[in-house]
Amino acid sequence: MKLDDLFKFHFDECRPFQKRVYDRAAGKTVKGVTADSRKVKKGDVFVCLVGEHVDGHVYVAQAVRAGAIAVVVQSTEAISKPLLDTLPVLRCDNTYKALAMLSARFYGKPAETLTMVGVTGTNGKTTVVHLVEKILAQAGRQSALLGTLGLKSSVRQTTVASSLTTPMAEDLQQQLAMLKDEGFDSVVMEVSSHALWQDRVYGCDYDVAVFTNLTQDH
């Protein structure tokens, strides 16, 4: 995918800081999208997230050294002028949403062709997800689940471990694309409150939404 193909439908959300710099790089091939500077490879787009303890903007130079061909930011204050004059920098109001949108586009928007069931709530998400996935499998659907215990399926031997109840947006879209490519048609997933707050599932069109309960933990 070319850089311009990734961004051209999102110019309302992601605006080039210097259009001439962006235009010169518009034909470059994008190899990936990530918010983790440690995972950046040549050809990637790096998205700067502002976390509770870490601000991704301070890792722009590191990401560029690793091969990033463009960066998405909320602010350009931490970026040196030489980089601003040579690197495509796109500004947006919410880089969490941008990460979700760009990841979905890069992986071909897999959620649009899968039957998506999202389960949220304080308690019971894992149990409900497993029950619904089993029901779908028994009904003959090619189903998989995503949640606290990772990516699994009752239909096939497919397992991907996860340290998060709901993966980060780039990992989520990659896993959904993998499931689509492998012939799955249904995904039942846990959607944590933290994932909703961080817009990790932004752009995922759920066919069914399940709310279990709300207790004092939230």
DSSP H or E segment with residue 70: strand 70-73
Residue 27 has pLDDT above 90, yes or no: yes
Distance CA(111)–CA(30), nearest Å, equals 21
Q: Which two tokens stand for residue 75?
A: 């602010």
Domain that holds residue 48: 3-106
Domain identity same for 170 and 123: yes
pTM for this entry: 0.94
Is residue 216 assigned to a domain? no
Residue 62 has pLDDT above 70, yes or no: yes
Domain identity same for 17 and 42: yes
Give pLDDT, residue 218. 65
Domain identity same for 127 and 206: yes
Domain identity same for 178 and 90: no
Overall average pLDDT of the 24-30 stretch: 97
What is the number of structural domains in the chain? 2
Domain identity same for 206 and 116: yes
Q: Which two tokens stand for residue 105?
A: 């586009």
Strand pairing of 89-91 and 15-16?
Answer: antiparallel
| Beta carbons of 129 and 208 less than 8 angstroms apart | no
Domain identity same for 98 and 131: no
Domain identity same for 148 and 188: yes
Overall average pLDDT of the 109-138 stretch: 98
Overall average pLDDT of the 187-196 stretch: 98
Domain identity same for 73 and 163: no
| Beta carbons of 42 and 58 less than 8 angstroms apart | no
Domain identity same for 10 and 95: yes
Q: What percent of the chain has pLDDT over 90?
A: 90
